[in-house]
């Protein structure tokens, strides 16, 4: 069962991780929490729910299939997240269906691109959101993205 957005967890003062937004009430709660940007990795596009709140969205869907993820997937998500973080007062919600695998994977890429060490970011997320999971294939995908990014 997906984790309800009322249970979104802040991993920094401006970046939260959580589960799917099912309806207007869910989006209302996220907006009330101060979220200004949503990076959605789920198969359901929630842009229409965010629009009335003025929340900027990026629908960067990816399957939770335990297969390697392409660096381009991370590039799009990290670019959106970093653009949001450059805006004063912006708050980003990164979500998938349950906020357990895909959203933590993308949040890991975002935090590492902002200078966090990978192990520190993983430990911190586990404290802030104990249900996160870091499947080895997803961690290796993040590492591949970071290596590609640093070789440019």
- Give the global pTM: 0.95
Q: Is the pLDDT of residue 1 over 60?
A: no
Q: Over range 93-120, report the average pLDDT.
A: 97
Structurally, the chain folds into a number of domains equal to 1
80 and 61 Cβ atoms separated by less than 8 Å: no
Q: pLDDT tens-digit profile of 16-66? A: 999 999 999 999 999 999 999 999 999 999 999 999 999 999 999 999 999
49: CATH: 3.90.190.10
124 is in which domain, residue-wise? 5-150
Q: Return the SS3 of 23.
A: coil
Nearest in space to 95 (alpha carbons), one of 142, 45, 136: 45
Identify each DSSP E strand in the chain by its residue range: 9-10, 15-18, 37-40, 56-59, 92-95
d(CA 92, CA 37) in angstroms, rounded, equals: 5
């Amino acid at each position: 069962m997906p984790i309800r957005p009322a249970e979104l967890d802040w991993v920094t003062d401006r970046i939260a991780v959580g589960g799917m937004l099912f309806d207007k009430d869910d989006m209302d709660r996220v907006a009330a929490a101060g979220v200004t940007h949503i990076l959605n990795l789920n198969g359901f596009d929630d842009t229409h729910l965010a629009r009335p709140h003025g929340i900027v969205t990026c629908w960067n869907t990816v399957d939770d299939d335990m297969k390697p993820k392409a660096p381009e997937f991370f590039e799009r998500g990290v670019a959106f997240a970093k653009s949001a973080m450059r805006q004063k007062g912006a708050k980003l919600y990164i979500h998938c269906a349950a906020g357990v695998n895909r959203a933590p994977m993308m949040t890991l890429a975002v935090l590492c691109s902002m200078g966090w060490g990978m192990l520190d970011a993983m430990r911190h997320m586990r404290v802030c959101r104990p249900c996160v999971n870091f499947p080895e294939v997803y961690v290796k995908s993040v590492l591949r993205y970071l290596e590609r990014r640093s070789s440019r």
